[in-house]
Amino acid sequence: MTTTGRQQGRTALVTGGSRGIGRAVSRRLAREGALVAVHYGHDAAAAERTVKEIETDGGRAFAVRAELGVPGDAATLWSAFDRELAAYDAGAGPGLDILVNNAGITLPRPIEQVTEEDYDHIFAVNTKAPFFILQRGISRLRDGGRIISVSSAATRVAYPAIVAYSMTKAALEHLTLSLALQLAPRSITVNTVAPGFTETEINPTLRNPQIRQALSAASVFNRLGAPADIADVIAFVASDDARWVTGQWLDATGGVHLGL
């Protein structure tokens, strides 16, 4: 089966789309023909690099800047999206077909070490921001659209060392269920994709060889996931091939913890 052109004529927004899993998703959707808005918060160079990579591959993309986790972040993001989309293609209109909630931060601390400031910040970025981005984005989504949120396997297995992070992702998963039911009459699917241990910058512990080996061994394939592994799953959920899949939690962990 070829996937070339299956997103032709569609517009996608990938939050946190300039690095890691988001970068891989942006590149994959663009390769399938979508016009991709690559969102970033601070690293303009990374966003422009991702856009250039997409263009070099023959795709179309533009960067959108909005810091998440601060007051008014959703309004800022959509204003930037409208402005940059109009500048890129005046005839494109303000509509959207695919929204990937990927942006997030981690907090590798057990409950005893989490401050109120830590807690408020991680929930602001990982939970509050996507909630209000979706609140303002639902009316922009065209019928038949796709919403995909990136969660974590940590919501299904106890990881006390990242308890606050896991809680933020669990909240997103319930949002998926609610929106899947609400938006079904418009043929909009809403799903969650949950990576496991993946080779990204969000996990600085991977620099430790012993930790790296242990996390690799958690997968039945005895390796860390690559961003492209996750992007391929998200691309499927974003396609018409997944039109009959909604309200689901898709395990994209490489079989982490299948055995004892």
Radius of gyration of the chain from its Cα atoms, rounded to whole angstroms: 18
What helix, strand, coil percent values describe the chain, rounded to 5? 50, 15, 35
Q: Number of helices (H) and strands (E) in the chain: give both, helices first.
A: 8, 7
Q: Where are the beta strands (DSSP E) in the chain?
A: 11-14, 35-40, 60-65, 96-101, 141-150, 189-195, 249-252
Q: Which of 88, 119, 159, 165 is catalytic?
A: 165
Catalytic status, residue 40: no
Partnered with residue 11 across adjacent β-strands are 35
Q: Is 49 exposed, middle or buried (0-12, 13-18, 19+ CB in 10 A)?
A: middle
- Do 148 and 99 touch, CB atoms closer than 8 A? yes
Q: Are 48 and 222 in contact (CB under 8 A)?
A: no
| Residues that are catalytic | 165
